[in-house]
Amino acid sequence: MHSSDSAARAARVLSRPFTLGSLTVPNRIAMAPMTREFSPGGVPGADVADYYARRAAGGTGLIITEGTYVGHPAAGTSGAVPRFHGEDALAGWERVVRAVHAAGGTIMPQLWHVGMARAAGAPPFPDAPPSGPSGITFDGTPSGHAMNRQDIDDVIAAFADAAAAAERLGFDGVELHGAHGYLIDQFLWSATNHRADAYGGSLRARTRFAAEIVAACRAAVSPDFPVLFRMSQWKMGNYQARLAGTPDELQALVGPLGDAGVSAFHCSTRRYWLPEYEDSDLNLAGWVKKLTGKPTVSVGSVGLDNEFVGTSRAEQAGVTGIDRLLDRMERDEFDLVAVGRALLGDPEWAAKVFDGRTGELQPFEASMLRTLS
């Protein structure tokens, strides 16, 4: 395909608006959530507002913020990751919302509890022990607190409070972080959930905690306020992990979450072009859309010539084409695409793709992680 034809195709496919409840995203490109740790004391400042607004001004239709800690003592593990509770942090987030809206974008916070990924003694609440479904780490080591029913209720309430705050502050929706081996995912995964009560055992039982968080958030916001759920098979430090080895298992996982009120699923993979199961080209987002009938967001090394390997590793990533992505979006395999490192490399990634200026795209380099630009 001639480059001008390819550019016109990209503009046509990616510039379509998408409506989800009360939200209309001006195009099909989202910014993927990426932890940056530039919020001292957990409060996002003017530099954070500028950082997100630059991506919105550069054509990104939907900003999904970095993970932001809900109001539970064991939710976090860094003093520089933003909080989504407390007047100071929420005032900072209100400024972020205003800046993104002024730049023409839409925005959702990603609500996060790290669970057993918390380091003992870490900020923001050093006395809080790491907490999870069974108090064990990914390798089965007992090193924290197994959550009791009161703990579960407290965490559910913290997510619901954060969702209500997001709507009050003017956000366009919320995303619940149920991926990558953090707390919600720890309940979903058999390796970290050894519970014998109603929150453990079968795959469906392991979805109960996530479904109750979804339902509580759904009840805390307006009926048409979008609630996204981010999920993944892989975990930080375990790229081979699988929650669902077959489409039937995936249905058992996502069905209860859709029933509980998920508006759309954000399906995290490391390479969006890989099929999730044999005998089908569908990726994870494609399968979840097929099984639930809900809209989905796909993500995974979009626009880059190497795959995601974790932000701590020094790396570079060159620019590559997105024809395979456009093929899938033309088939409506999924509805939105989230862009991560490519948007760190070039805040105007979306506008340049729309305009056919791909030769001007700036590649991602690991040094970009050291500043909030």
Q: How far is CA 131 from the centre of its chain?
A: 21
**Which among 52, 182, 199, 272 is annotated as catalytic?**
182
What lies within 8 Å, CB to CB, of 5 at 6+ separation is: none
Q: Of 119, 185, 113, 205, nearest to 156 (Cα)?
A: 113
CB 256 within 8 A of CB 207: yes
Q: Which two tokens stand for residue 285?
A: 């987002």
Q: How far apart are CA 328 and CA 330, in angstroms?
A: 5
CB 138 within 8 A of CB 235: yes
Q: How far apart are CA 199 and CA 13, in angstroms?
A: 42
Tell me which amino acid residue 131 is: S
How far is the CA of 263 from the CAs of 137, 153, 162, 165, 331, in angstroms?
31, 23, 17, 18, 21
What are residue 206's phi and psi, to 5 degrees?
A: -70, -15
**What DSSP element (H or E) covers 266?**
strand 264-268
Q: How far apart are CA 161 and CA 214, in angstroms?
A: 12
Beta bridge pairs of residue 180 = 235
239 included as an active-site residue: no
Q: How far apart are CA 246 and CA 330, in angstroms?
A: 25
Residues involved in catalysis: 182
